[in-house]
Structure 1
Amino acid sequence: MKFLDIGEVAERSGMRPSALRYYEEVGLISSIARSGLRRQFPPEVLLQLKLIAMGKSAGFSLDEISGMFGGNGAPDLPRALLHEKADELDRQIGELAALRDTLRHVADCPAPSHMECPTFRRLVDVAGRRSGTKRQKRGPKGGGGGGD
């Protein structure tokens, strides 16, 4: 089996060596040997790094991602947690689509003033209700009492 040194892993994965050293420090990946001062990794580390990048893109923390790898570094993906994250992404996609549609409407609206446009006012009302719902779920900003 041919091992990859840290420079090769960095080049193939597009990650900085400092990130690879950090991932090793927190237990996300493991080097298996050294050649001089250079860490050596098994080729499977490239798949692990892709999974880590995908997990980060999906919004998982490094601690959550770490829990998705078994003791031997093989993925051990918690299906229920993945479903929860997929549902969360669906909600975000819906919110972003509504925001995109609002922006397009505002950009293309023929009304002389956006405040005169009933569609714009309706879209703002809907966005305000969504924002208020989020704030209620998460609590007030800053964690203190009072307003924003």
Structure 2
Amino acid sequence: MHNNRETLDIRAVSKLSGLPSSTLRYYEEKGLIKSCGRRGITRIFKATVVEQLSLISLGRYAGFSLNEIGEMFASNGNPSIDREQLLNRADDLDKNIRRLEAMRDGLRHVAHCPEDNQLECPNFQNLIKKASKLQHQEDRKAKRR
């Protein structure tokens, strides 16, 4: 018999985590979380699963795939995070921030451009070329994955 203070049924986990039960079942199927038993047909989880789900949400928010997040947990469910992987992701975020800032600045320039036709604006032409080049690079990376 499970001690009710140490375990939660799937409905309680869903309520505490804000995740639908279907997501919890999917995460269990993917091996990200583990139920510790059943009460009838209802899955039962250790209460610590809520903290684990918070870490999964943080990983998703940071852009990690579910497979990458799964690799960040030891078999006992405790975090086993590769610090180098975190630094690489932080570097990727820095690149995206710089790219988005450049795009924002370019769009603002075009919005206030004194040219009657923005297509004649040299800065707009540069923005188009840069965006096209970056998009081709991203497309090539996506094909390699």
- TM-score class normalised by the smaller sequence: 0.7 to 0.9
The 5 A counterparts of 1:91-130 are 91-130=95-134
Partner of 1:25 in structure 2?
A: 29
SS in 2 for 1:15: coil
The residue type paired with residue 84 of structure 2 is A
User: Structure 1 residues 134 and 16 mapped into 2: Cα distance closer, same or farther (>3 Å)?
Assistant: closer
Partner of 1:69 in structure 2?
A: 73
Deviations 1:2-28 (A, max 9, x none): 321101111121111111011112211
The 5 A counterparts of 1:74-93 are 74-93=78-97
Consecutive unaligned residues of structure 1, counting only runs of 5 or more, are 144-148
The residue type paired with residue 20 of structure 1 is L
- Whether the aligned pair in 1 keeps the contact of 2:106 and 2:123 (CA below 8 Å) is no
The CA distance in 2 between the partners of 1:97 and 1:63, in whole Å, is 30
> What's the % identity of the aligned pairs?
46
The residue type paired with residue 104 of structure 2 is R
Alignment length (residue pairs): 140
Provide TM-score, normalisation by structure 1: 0.82
The CA distance in 2 between the partners of 1:12 and 1:110, in whole Å, is 54
Q: CA RMSD in A?
A: 2.1
The CA distance in 2 between the partners of 1:67 and 1:132, in whole Å, is 30
The residue type paired with residue 30 of structure 2 is V
SS in 1 for 2:32: coil
